[in-house]
A and B are shown apart, each in its own frame.
Chain A
Amino acid sequence: MQVQRRGLAGLLLAMGGIPHALAQGDEALAYYRQANVNWRQADGQSLTIALNKHPFTESLLPLIPQFRRLTGINVEYLILPEAEYFTRLVADLSQQRGEFSVVMTGPMRNWQYVPPNWILPLDGFLDNPALTDRSWFKLEDFYPPLIAANRWDGRTGGGVGEGPLYSIPVLEESYILAYRKDIFDQHDIKVPATIEEMAEAARQVKRHAGISGIVARGTPSVASMGTGFLSGLKSYTDGQWSELDSNLRANFHDPRSVRFTEIWIDMVRESGPPNWANLQWYDAMEAFTAGQAGMIADADFFAASYEDPSRSRVAGKVGYALIPPGPGGKTYSGLWTWALGINRATRNKEAAWLFLQWATAQHTLLNATVGYRNYNPSRASVTNDPRVQEAMGGWGGGTYLSTVAKNLETARVAWVPQPERTRAGDIWARSLHEIYFRRMSAADALKRASTELDRVLRQADIRR
């Protein structure tokens, strides 16, 4: 057995010849110094930032000394995987002692943080010429749906896209269908145009190729609901159904939702892996990457793993398509962005904003994508950069980029804004388990989920 050796040359080659130097050294600082902003106005202050373990945060960490050179601000950080991260974050936000100044958040999470006034609106900072050079920062460079997703007027049940901007997106995540083009072509399976066809395609894959027809997240948590499942359901109902109706009563038991759930659960039970109920996002992604499934309807940027020849068995064999639409013919995918926000309790608000502006600047985000695989970019200029185009352009023979572009035309935040969204998702996911293990029919399980969610909403005093 030979021990693999990777020299510096190998490293550079592996990174596609894109050196770290993209982001290091004083020539990089020159980019930021172009901004008509006094970066040193918070000199000597300290910040602690709370970050979710993520390629974006990986990209930031080597640059933190650079930030200190630019601004004189000391930055300390805390990084944890998602579940533990949110636990720590909410513990600190709820105390409002300002331990964390800059936080990683997102649209649905903001619905928890805004009502109790835990995070600050950012418009004030953006409009303050002493703090922000808008012509340099170019807020318009961000894809508009992503900025809209991070705006909320605080109204339960609606108002996303209006009101203050609470966080600035650092990536885009929407949901598409990835499928094994090689298997589909070989066995003459057509790309599904409806959910029923998707179930049939899964059946075909399993029968002819001997692998799972489809793999999907299945853990009994909100994280399993909002990606492929919810996107499929929204599409199935032409975007007309929501988990809370206009009176903020739970609506899981709507007949359309029941029907879709039956199809979906039957599909994963019949054609999915036997341990569906325990699949986290990375289990599903790794299963597809390892060539063990014919389809996956989940985050678009998982393609970076599918198409990575050093880890993937299916690189170059994957096709990308929209999640099957409903009768109206349009797909309504969900949307998520990781975004940076500011803790209201921070003592150093200007310093926090300077960090945020720096971290979401074009140069920083470009480095994150090019050097650290932060996908999908939230800035159009990053996506259009030739290096990014080269990396992503080849995925699915070009179908990846075109599919995502089409998807973003109609993708929107799929949940109803309310502080107990996480709870709603958890209740919903558990009801799916009841159905999957045949303890209850879909209609009964979803009715019970609705009742339980209504009870929680009542306890939390969430109503029109």
Chain B
Amino acid sequence: MRADETGRRRRRRPAAVLPYLLLSPALVLLGGMIYPFALGLYYSLTNYWLQYPDRFRVVWFENYFELLEEPLFLRALEFTLGFTVVAVVVQVGLGLAVALFLHGRIPGRGVIRALMLLPLMIPPVITALMWKIMMASTNAGILNHMLSFLGVEPINWFGSTQGAVVSVLIIDTWGNLPFVALILLGGLQALPSEPYEAARVDGAGAAAILRYVTLPLLTPFIVLVVTFRAMDSLRIFDVIYATTAGGPNDATTNLHIMAYQYAFQWYQMGRGMTQAVVLLLLVVTVSYLLLRLWNRAAERMAP
């Protein structure tokens, strides 16, 4: 606090420290994670390769430069970004639709809401394996079997490059739609009712209410779920690992999968960490941009 604010300062001093005090336990807890993180960063600057411990040395940014020359990196980057955009649009769009649907007076909505939590109760790894059973045709693929009743030709879910991408999207959406829908539903339920009454008094129709009342009020929540889903989609791992492992033909390899392969399959820790750090930078950038949006929206709501 500056000296010219002395008057206000004396009144505010107890309060000035308070927020930091309130935050301190959380800061301590996460502060303990700084050292492991720093160690991970350090490894990205080395040629750490598990089987060759004698040759360990710091190579500074060599890993990062070599990454740019790696052809798979550009493909992985492209897939990471592309998948994220599509996944966020699909999941937030559908989630909003579902939340609006459940917000109305639907019979049995309590039951539906409870059941919607089911996808979240299953670990993503298991979800992926179970969908794999349903989709993979040599494993008695129930999905193609049921689609055949609708006259649809069997779809090569995991064996074709396009099918694999779609499959990953479907499984990821199945697992995360409840999350989006529930947050937005919670947001809808927490909205104040005056604007709605005012709008009804003004004679606005449902579509107009949606567009001019609901969506603007819901914006902080929408940005929240977009941010969370974007962050998660950029880093999606479990679903891909358990179904396609990045294939076929690298069609579902994103930066996270690539980093995992380098670190855990080929034991090149240095390079794996490099790729993980690049992914982190990507996520941080995207999230920062989205969060500035959130802050602006939130500040409008709570002056």
Contact = CB atoms under 8 A, between A and B. Distances in A.
In the complex they form, whether A and B have CB atoms below 8 Å apart is answered with yes
Interface of A: 87, 90-91, 94, 112, 115-116, 215, 218-221, 273-279, 283-284, 286-287, 290, 292, 419-420, 422-423, 426, 430, 433-434, 436-437, 439, 460-461
Contacts of B51: 90, 94, 112, 115-116, 419
Nearest to B246: A220
Contacts of A284: 138
A278 B52 contact: no
B137 A274 contact: yes
Given A275-B156, A275-B158, A286-B139, 16 more contacts: A90-B51, A91-B50, A94-B50, A94-B267, A218-B248, A220-B248, A273-B159, A274-B154, A275-B159, A277-B160, A278-B247, A279-B138, A283-B139, A426-B261, A430-B249, A437-B248
B164 A278 contact: yes
Interface of B: 49-55, 136-140, 154, 156-161, 164, 243-250, 261, 264-267
Q: Lowest 3 A-B CB distances belong to which pairs?
A: A275-B159, A277-B248, A278-B158
A279 B49 CA distance: 30
Contacts of A283: 136, 138-139
A433 B138 contact: no
Contacts of B137: 273-275
18 contacts: A94-B53, A115-B51, A219-B247, A220-B246, A220-B247, A220-B249, A274-B156, A278-B159, A278-B164, A278-B248, A283-B138, A287-B139, A433-B247, A433-B249, A436-B249, A437-B161, A437-B249, A439-B249
A423 B264 contact: no
A215 B52 contact: no
Nearest to B55: A461
A29 B37 CA distance: 51
B138 A290 contact: yes
Nearest to A292: B138
A87 B262 CA distance: 12
A277 B265 contact: no
B259 to A, nearest CB: 14
B241 to A, nearest CB: 9
A215 B138 contact: yes
A423 B136 CA distance: 27
A51 B54 CA distance: 28
A116 B49 CA distance: 11
B264 A430 contact: no
B149 to A, nearest CB: 20
Contacts of A423: 266
Nearest to B54: A116
Contacts of B245: 219-221
A422 B266 contact: yes
A430 B247 CA distance: 9
A425 B264 CA distance: 15
A245 to B, nearest CB: 22
B267 A433 contact: no
Contacts of B140: 290
B52 A90 contact: no
Nearest to B267: A90
A437 B247 CA distance: 12
A54 B74 CA distance: 39
B109 to A, nearest CB: 33
Contacts of B52: 116, 419, 460-461
Contacts of A274: 137, 154, 156, 159-160
B238 to A, nearest CB: 13
A430 B250 contact: yes
Nearest to A220: B247
Contact of B244 (A116, A278, A287, A439): A278
A284 B159 CA distance: 13
B159 A277 contact: yes
A40 to B, nearest CB: 37
Contacts of B246: 220
B129 to A, nearest CB: 11
Contacts of A436: 248-249
A218 B247 CA distance: 10
Contacts of B159: 218, 273-279
Nearest to A118: B51
A439 B137 CA distance: 24
A105 to B, nearest CB: 14
Give the one of A274, A275, A277, A433 with max B CB within 10 A.
A275
A189 B247 CA distance: 34
Nearest to B141: A275
Contacts of B158: 275, 277-278
Nearest to A432: B249
B138 A277 contact: no
**Which of B138, B139, B245, B248 has most A Cβ within 10 Å?**
B138
